[in-house]
Amino acid sequence: MAEMTAAGEQPEILFWVGCAGAFDDRYKKVTRAFVKILDALGVKYAVLGTEESCTGDPARRAGNEFLFQMQAMGNITVLNGYGIKKIVTACPHCFNTLKNEYPDLGGTYEVIHHSTYLQQLIDEGKLRVSDGKPFKGRRITFHDSCYLGRGNNIYDAPRNVLEQLDADLVEMKRSRSRGLCCGAGGAQMFKEAERGDKEVNVERTEEALATGCQIVATACPFCMTMMEDGTKHFNKEDQVKVYDLAELIATANDL
Amino acid sequence: MSKQIAFTIFFLAAIGVFGYTISRLRRFFKLTKKDFPLDNIPERIRQTLLVAFGQTKILRRPMIGLMHAFVWWGFLVITIGTAEMMVDGLVGTERFLGKILGPVYTAIMASGDVLAAFIVFACISFLARRYVIKVKRFSGVEMTPTANLDATVALLMILFLMVSLLGMNIAYVKLAGAEKVGVYPVSESLQGLVANIGGSTVAKLHELSWWTHIVLVLVFMNILPYSKHFHVFMSVPNVFFTRLGPYTKLRNMESVTKEVKAMLDPSATIEPQAADAPIPRFGVKDVEDVNWKNYADSLTCTQCGRCTSVCPANTTGKLLSPRKILVDLRHRMNDKGPGLSRDPQYTDGKALVGDYITQEELWACTTCNACVQECPVNIDHVSLIVDMRRSLVMEDSSAPESLVAMFTNIENNGAPWQFSPSDRMRWADDLFSNKAS
Ligand code: SF4
Ligand code: SF4
């Protein structure tokens, strides 16, 4: 971003990579898949790079409002400094925080989750899946992220994107607004679960496996980790793969 | 005349007791915080029409939802008739609305009569769900024997309210003959029951039913505020006062914003605090820290358990039950509210967080909002849970170690994991390595 500003340019979108997208080895692949799509379509985008910092979402949900607001104010200063108007992110937690919570602290942007963004590109006729269609007929189930679906009413965009793959889309027993959490929200990702009979992600993975799917599609870094751990729990990680929407689209387009 | 006097005395006594209860609740509300804004009235009206009157959320479980919806709509219609009975009883008239409302009255009476019969059937089914089918969501730690008794008493009272209403209508149809005002489909078809009974006995039956119904109504009205069935009164306002906006948006803590701004910009003028002003606590530790909407939520909770039945933590065996959070808040207010309203410094050495709700419960929440989504009366469990976490973290510095580590990471590295911020672009290493930059 700094380079673009130096060159006197403004990007079409700011791609908010997020901590998982930047540091988590698995999710880095999603980040790469998404920028490959952007590059292929010639979208003029920028990233903040080292100027990006955690949105503060996990701190806020864990009760540390101070830390959250410190993070938020820092990020808002950077974003406003560059005059950012439009942000796209592949993380529903970043999405929710940037879109719904930053305005209270003086940061108002058009924030789009990458599922919606991909759908827009498809609707505009820019993004198409090439004819090879490697996923044709494969059985795919989509796991709703709470912060995307229940929180922000985005249920159709990811499904519409998956439609492009010409795959056999199946729904789990609980889906859309009744979808079951993967177990990672509210800062659970960063701690051990409380005592109980079962892990939440195991319960959710059971439901996913019950569909007989070959691929679990996700649109959230936490969901991805939880579902992958789940398939490993059942020793199914070779038969059932977990992919992000962007990865599926990128692969289908041979990117 | 003597009936009028007897009824007036009884009526005034009932109103008096009710007045006392309401003033008690008012005192409790005064103990809570004011910070819950009421903006966007049109959206609130829309929510009220849909969720409260239209029952959209309870209908997410279609079968049982529809039964409840008819009970509720029946209640609305029958209440008009009950109000009429009160006026009749006080003034000494008989079905005075009939002359005023004409065909509307006929419609009200006819639907009330049919719905009363339906409610009898519904109450029996609801009791069966508790005692025969034993629906799972009616159990749980917070569903103590008292809580179950509460539900049973309420259902039985409603059942007898409807039976007495039908008894009255059946007798009325026979007694009034051609003079009858209104139409009573069920009671008319049940005339066989009183066909062989003499007129004076039927008149007695009418009197008995009338008194049973009206006494039950006034007693029920006075039990309600102490019962989970208070939702009869509370649900409509509570839905109107819903926290609007996306479920996952948490409300900003203005008190923290002030401090953070002061920290980031020390030159900014800070309003001097009055020396004797109490230092405000962050988050919710006890009942005096909640806002009035949280308390309204706790009074509205019907203990239906829909929230708990979809809670990922609860259904995988964790201690957390979102219903319990509301039940506990209401109990806590009952325990501490009286002392606190006499003396603002009052303490009984206990607190909502710790003695009623444990940390273990609070830390198990994933903030998935399934509970909020499912609650038929728009209760907001998650804001309250996060507010209690806020008190644990910001007041007591008491969070699970791994979360403290996460905080430290964010503070030092700008990420919840221990990575160096300078590595933030490493994901792009292979991607652009072949590109001239
Ligand atoms: S938000 Fe928390 S309490 Fe509510 S259903 Fe999810 S985990 Fe349970
Ligand atoms: S909070 Fe709502 S869903 Fe939960 S028991 Fe109470 S009324 Fe039912």
Q: Which of A50-59, A112-121, B253-262, B306-315 has the lowest mean pLDDT?
A: B253-262
The more confidently predicted of residues B430 and B204 is B204
Between A22, A150, A180, which is nearest B247 by CB?
Answer: A150
**Whether the predicted pLDDT of A108 surpasses 90:** yes
Instruction: Give percent of chain B above pLDDT 70.
Output: 95
**Nearest alpha-carbon partner for B369 in B323, B411, B311:** B311
- What integer pLDDT is reported at residue B279 of this predicted model? 66
Q: Kindly identify which residue of chain B lies nearest to residue A179, measuring between CA atoms.
A: B370
- What integer pLDDT is reported at residue B268 of this predicted model? 62
* Residues flanking ligand 2, CB < 6 Å: B 301-307, 322-323, 326, 374-375, 377, 379
pLDDT band per the 50, 70, 90 thresholds, residue A17: very high
Instruction: Give percent of chain A above pLDDT 70.
Output: 99
- What integer pLDDT is reported at residue B37 of this predicted model? 81
**Whether the predicted pLDDT of B154 surpasses 90:** yes
Q: Which of A61-75, B15-29, B257-271, B313-327 has the lowest mean pLDDT?
A: B257-271
Distance (Å) of CA A46 to CA A51, A124, B35, B426: 12, 21, 40, 15
**Whether the predicted pLDDT of B3 surpasses 90:** no
- What integer pLDDT is reported at residue A77 of this predicted model? 96
Mutate to test the pocket of ligand 2, among B302, B328, B329 (most ligand atoms within 8 A of CB): B302
- What integer pLDDT is reported at residue A211 of this predicted model? 97
Give a three-class secondary structure readout of A120-149.
HHHHCCCCCCCCCCCCCCCEEEECCCCCCH
Half-sphere CA count of B414, side-chain side, radius 13 A: 17
| CB-ligand 1 contact for B162 (6 Å cutoff) | no
Distance B320 CA to ligand 1 centre (A): 8
Distance B374 CA to ligand 2 centre (A): 8
CA dist., res. A194 & res. A188, Å (int): 10
Q: Which of B107-111, B165-169, B270-274 has the lowest mean pLDDT?
A: B270-274
Eight-state DSSP code of residue A90: S
pLDDT tens-digit series, residues B294-329: 999 999 999 999 999 999 999 999 999 999 999 999
**Mutation site for B-interface testing, chosen from A27, A54, A111, A206 by largest number of B Cβ within 10 Å:** A54
Q: Kindly identify which residue of chain B lies nearest to residue A147, measuring between CA atoms.
A: B248
Average pLDDT of B157-174?
96
Between A65, A189, A191, which is nearest B256 by CB?
Answer: A65
Between B248, B369, B427, which is nearest A21 by CB?
Answer: B427
- What integer pLDDT is reported at residue B328 of this predicted model? 97
pLDDT band per the 50, 70, 90 thresholds, residue B436: very low
**Whether the predicted pLDDT of B75 surpasses 50:** yes
Average pLDDT of B16-37?
94
| CB-ligand 1 contact for B322 (6 Å cutoff) | yes
CA dist., res. B184 & res. A10, Å (int): 74
**Whether the predicted pLDDT of A36 surpasses 70:** yes
Average pLDDT of B74-83?
95
Nearest-atom index, ligand 1, CA of B311: 5
Chain-chain contact of A200 with B364 (C-beta, under 8 angstroms): no
Chain-chain contact of B313 with A147 (C-beta, under 8 angstroms): no
Nearest ligand to the C-alpha of residue A200?
1
Nearest-atom index, ligand 2, CA of B327: 6
In chain B, residues with a C-beta closer than 8 Å to the C-beta of A178 are 310
**Whether the predicted pLDDT of B203 surpasses 70:** yes
**Whether the predicted pLDDT of B418 surpasses 60:** yes
- What integer pLDDT is reported at residue A132 of this predicted model? 67
- What integer pLDDT is reported at residue A128 of this predicted model? 86
- What integer pLDDT is reported at residue B433 of this predicted model? 45
pLDDT tens-digit series, residues B258-292: 988 888 877 766 555 555 556 678 999 999 999 99
**Mutation site for B-interface testing, chosen from A1, A36, A61 by largest number of B Cβ within 10 Å:** A61
Between B247, B402, B410, which is nearest A54 by CB?
Answer: B410
- What integer pLDDT is reported at residue B434 of this predicted model? 43
Q: Which of B113-122, B275-284, B381-390, B405-414 has the lowest mean pLDDT?
A: B275-284
Give a three-class secondary structure readout of chain B.
CHHHHHHHHHHHHHHHHHHHHHHHHHHHHHHCECCCCCCCHHHHHHHHHHHHHCCCCHHHCHHHHHHHHHHHHHHHHHHHHHHHHHHHHHHCCCCCHHHHHCHHHHHHHHHHHHHHHHHHHHHHHHHHHHHCCCCHHHCCCCCCHHHHHHHHHHHHHHHHHHHHHHHHHHHHHHHHHHHCCCCCHHHHHCHHHHCCCCHHHHHHHHHHHHHHHHHHHHHHHHHHHHCHHHHHHHHHHHHHCCCCCCCCCCCCCHHHHHHHHHHHCCCCCCCCCCCCCCCCCCCCCCHHHCEHHHHHHHHHCCCCCHHHHHCHHHHCCCCCCHHHHHHHHHHHHHHHHHHHHHCCCCCCCCCHHHHHECHHHHHCCCCCCHHHHHCCCCCCHHHHHHHHHHHHHHHCCCCCHHHHHHHHHHHHHCCCCCCCHHHCCHHHHHHHCCCCC
Nearest ligand to the C-alpha of residue A188?
1
Mean pLDDT of chain A, nearest integer: 95
Mean pLDDT of chain B, nearest integer: 92
B258 touches chain A (CB under 8 A): no
Chain-chain contact of B312 with A61 (C-beta, under 8 angstroms): no
Distance B234 CA to ligand 1 centre (A): 23
In chain A, residues with a C-beta closer than 8 Å to the C-beta of B375 are none
In chain A, residues with a C-beta closer than 8 Å to the C-beta of B390 are 63-65
Instruction: Give percent of chain A above pLDDT 90.
Output: 91
Residue nearest to atom 5 of ligand 1 (CA): B311
- What integer pLDDT is reported at residue B99 of this predicted model? 85
| CB-ligand 1 contact for B239 (6 Å cutoff) | no
ipTM of the assembly? 0.95
Residue B228 and residue B302 in contact, taking contact as beta carbons nearer than 8 Å: yes
CA dist., res. B169 & res. A180, Å (int): 49
Number of inter-chain CB pairs under 8 A, A vs B: 208
Eight-state DSSP code of residue A9: -
A60 touches chain B (CB under 8 A): yes
Average pLDDT of A205-221?
97
In chain A, residues with a C-beta closer than 8 Å to the C-beta of B259 are 66
Mutate to test the pocket of ligand 2, among B327, B331, B375 (most ligand atoms within 8 A of CB): B375
